[in-house]
Chain A
Amino acid sequence: MVGPSSSHTAGAVRLGIMARKILGVEPDKAEIRLHGSFAETGKGHGTNLAFAAGLMGMGTDDERIPQALALAKEKGLDIQFTSADLGDVHPNTAEFHLRAQDGRSAVVLGSSIGGGQIKIVAINGFPVEISGDYPTLVILHRDLPGVVAQVTSLLATAQVNIAQMRVSREKRGAQALTIVETDQPLDSSVMLLLRKLPAVVQAIAVDLG
């Protein structure tokens, strides 16, 4: 990795990558709210550079990280940083408010928990727990009976084993979010079939691979 801090630099790059993958496309506008130690000491650790690098899809050992903010500017990616109290979360936490040119948007809350490891704790307000260590499927769908069964049977047919799974919803019958961490990578044909399910609003595959 590129220094100086695994939680404030490498972890921040990974959070940026995950946020970008959850949005599903390169953002062109990002507001990043920094909490706790990220807000207090982020600048000295190059955290802002690292977030920008991750949002542009750079890896943790990319030696362009020190120039990431300048590169973002060149690309027309508008990034704003603010300090915020995000409540009872890990000291190294950030909330990404992302918008893409095609109108897509996402709010991603994530923490850098040490040694470069990260945890995404909320997506668009839904509580989740994603480490990025496994290929992860994020499915936004309508809260209807049988949707989870359709998803799991599709994965079973594709010979994909489920490591962890979590379902949460806004309220009964409204929108729900299903997160599936799998042992095998998810190829594009599986993703295509998932997106064809009538109840599925959005399905994205995220991993730090």
Chain B
Amino acid sequence: MRAYMDFVRQAEAEGLKIGEVVLREQELELETAQEMLLKRMRENLQVMRESVQKGLKGNLRSFSGLSGGEAAKVEARRLRGESLTGERFSGAIAKALAVAEVNASMGKIVAAPTAGSCGVLPAVILTVEEALGLPEEASLLGLFSAAGLGMVIADRATVSGAEGGCQAEIGSAAGMAAAAAVEMAGGSPEATAQAAAIAMKSFLGLVCDPVAGLVEVPCIKRNATAAAIALAAAEMVLAGIKSAIPVDEVIDTMADVGRQIPCSLRETAQGGLAATPTGRRIQLTI
């Protein structure tokens, strides 16, 4: 089985970034030249940028009509200089909402790792890129580091909400984003593992309970809170804080907890928020 710490050891032994190790491994695994892999990742990053822009305009309505236009509200407040938590932080929240809203309107996004959790990674990566004035190459390598963690999670656990609950989707996305953010900010390969572990621990046990079965309530706003948690984890790790439990053990825990989540709380819309009086009422109206 894959282990994230294998990537960390390889990267540290050779003085590389996690993203570079993953890129090299994919080159061998897929028999595809690095330039081609980078080109494809650049296309993904471009779709991410476009989905942020599209969502921030605020004129989208979801498939059901339940949601839309929230990203623009946060962005407008930020642009007025009224943000409570600071420009960067509220920018990340707006971006995460934007992409999740595009997804809910059946627009084009990058599943990272899934469509339900598609807002977290673009929000964090683009926020860090902007904040630190990094070149696009840094974001691409950040995406490869995130992908490395995602592959390990898919191998050791799952990224499916129907299988492991929301922790498997949004928790994985937050872990991937935290690892990428740390690497982009100059953290060591080992530090990316710490950030991923801290972020993922914050979601253990989170159930998948979408109202009316739609990827809207609570999914869209969870993308924003997950981006916030990913940034908080990165902040802690860059200050030298470590996770008491190593990342691969956190991933195994997530798999184990996921198996214990009953079926009603794994994307069946039979329990959790979907089963609340309000959730049921919403279901009847659409």
Give A residues with C-beta under 8 Å from B. Answer: 1-7, 9-10, 36-37, 40-46, 61, 63, 65-66, 90-92, 112-117, 183
Contact = CB atoms under 8 A, between A and B. Distances in A.
A40 B162 CA distance: 11
B98 to A, nearest CB: 13
Q: Give the most central of A1, A115, A116: most B CB within 10 Å.
A: A115
B191 to A, nearest CB: 25
B125 to A, nearest CB: 18
Interface in B116-158: 116, 118, 150, 154, 158
8 contacts: A1-B109, A3-B102, A6-B113, A6-B116, A41-B269, A44-B63, A112-B160, A115-B111
A41 to B, nearest CB: 3
B168 A114 contact: yes
A41 B217 CA distance: 13
A115 B103 contact: no
The majority secondary structure among interface residues of chain B is loop
Nearest to A49: B106
B200 to A, nearest CB: 16
Contact of B214 (A44, A61, A112): A44
B158 A114 contact: yes
Interface of B: 31, 62-64, 102-111, 113-116, 118, 150, 154, 158-164, 168, 210, 212-216, 263, 266-270, 286
B112 to A, nearest CB: 9
A45 B160 contact: no
Given A37-B267, A44-B214, A7 B107 contact: no
Contacts of B150: 115
A91 B159 contact: no
A45 B108 contact: no
Contacts of A114: 113-114, 154, 158-164, 168
Given A91-B268, A114-B162, 4 more contacts: A1-B111, A6-B111, A37-B268, A65-B106
A73 to B, nearest CB: 19
Given A3-B104, A5-B115, A41-B267, A92 B214 contact: no
A10 B159 CA distance: 14
A94 B163 CA distance: 15
A104 B214 CA distance: 36
A107 B286 CA distance: 33
A115 B63 contact: no
Contact of A45 (B31, B102, B109, B214): B214
Contact of B161 (A7, A63, A66): A7
B284 to A, nearest CB: 13
Contacts of A44: 63-64, 210, 212-215, 269, 286
B160 A3 contact: no
Contacts of A90: 162-163
Q: Which 5 residue pairs of A and B lie closest in terms of their CB atoms, listed nearest first?
A: A114-B160, A41-B213, A3-B103, A44-B214, A6-B111
Contacts of B63: 4, 44, 46
Contacts of B266: 37, 91
B158 A6 contact: no
Q: Give the most central of A66, A113, A114: most B CB within 10 Å.
A: A114
B86 to A, nearest CB: 30
B106 A1 contact: no
Contact of A183 (B31, B116, B210): B31
A181 to B, nearest CB: 14
A6 B114 CA distance: 5
Contact of A115 (B64, B108, B160, B212): B160
A186 to B, nearest CB: 16
Q: Give the most central of B105, B107, B161: most A CB within 10 Å.
A: B161
Contacts of A1: 108-111, 115
A7 B64 CA distance: 19
